[in-house]
Amino acid sequence: MKRMFTFLGMVLATYLVGSSAASATEYPLPPAGSRLIGENIAYPVPHDGRPLEAIASDFKIGLLNMLEANPGTDPYLPTPGSTLTIPTQMLLPDTPREGIVVNLAELRLYYYPKGKGTVIVFPIGIGQQGRNTPLMVTSVSEKRANPTWTPTANIRKRYLEEEGIKLPAVVPAGPDNPMGLHALRLAAHGGVYLLHGTNANFGIGMRVSSGCIRLRADDIEWLFNNVPVGTRVQIINDAVKTSVEPDGKRYIEVHQPLSKSAKDDPQTMAIPLNKQIQSFIHAVETDSQMVGDAIVRRSGMPILVSTGQSVEHFQEPALTAPETHQAAPISSANASQ
């Protein structure tokens, strides 16, 4: 019974932020020295014919994060009766826990509300190949509701050549605007990069934009209503995250790196490892074989890689919820396939 209450509390925490019943996923900050938050969820696919994007949206997860955690899943029609892993456990980025942190490689945005001891996590869409979202440390310079969109000459040319769409010089605000209904402008680079919504029901958790950071409509609305102008924003690109937890357990989280050309395969291309990560891997307390397996697998989930640890396979969750939209937490030790 205690475990069921834990499960129900986790699901409620996933869907509710504060008293506003908003759409974000909020986690309490871990203790000092820890970066591990959340628990993965086992989700039985119902017989309702919904695509993977719809399930991802229910749990506030990006599409690529779902595919990393569930390789081989049909994104258009996941097999009814099968069990999906909802990757709601993660390591916090190795950055100051302040303002907004965007990690391009994992297609997530972290927001640390000042003085609240929590972190709120959103899936995002980012720049396509050749239209990359740049790394930066900047701030929110402006918030705008019902933004208009002024596509550049290059964007108008690309739409015409690639999609046969002749864009106007200015796209007015409204439901057909690709910017959505809310936008937060970043100060760097002359203010050309924004966090904004979308008029599409796909593309979150993917490389889809011309360089801006795209969020689902309810997520950007939440940020618009809660993030002050002047908030610090840091954009990083870390495909590999590691942590040595206060209890000595060692975790690695590996995402597919951002491809640089059409020839790159994000599942097999080499991932540069900085000196800090190399030191983690080569430490005697780290099982190098498990690290190698994690880098090959690229599940996007924290993997326990401490020497001498026994890690269960992902197909064996400790508890499975029986009903649609119910899900059971899976401990971090199960996140290794």
Beta strands in the chain (DSSP E): 25-28, 36-37, 40-44, 83-86, 90-91, 99-103, 108-112, 118-123, 126-127, 136-145, 182-186, 194-196, 207-209, 213-214, 232-236, 240-244, 250-254, 302-304, 328-330
Beta-bridge partners for 40: 330
Reply yes or no on whether 196 is catalytic: yes
Cα–Cα distance for residue pair 234/186, rounded to 1 Å? 10
Reply yes or no on whether 255 is catalytic: no
- Give the DSSP H or E segment for 71: none
**Within 13 A of 309's CA, how many CA atoms are on the CB side?**
24
| Residue count (the chain) | 337
Given the residues 47, 182, 189, 196, the one annotated as active site: 196
Given the residues 182, 189, 212, 255, the one annotated as active site: 212
Amino acid at 47: H
Cα–Cα distance for residue pair 192/91, rounded to 1 Å? 30
**Which sequence positions are flagged as catalytic?**
196, 212
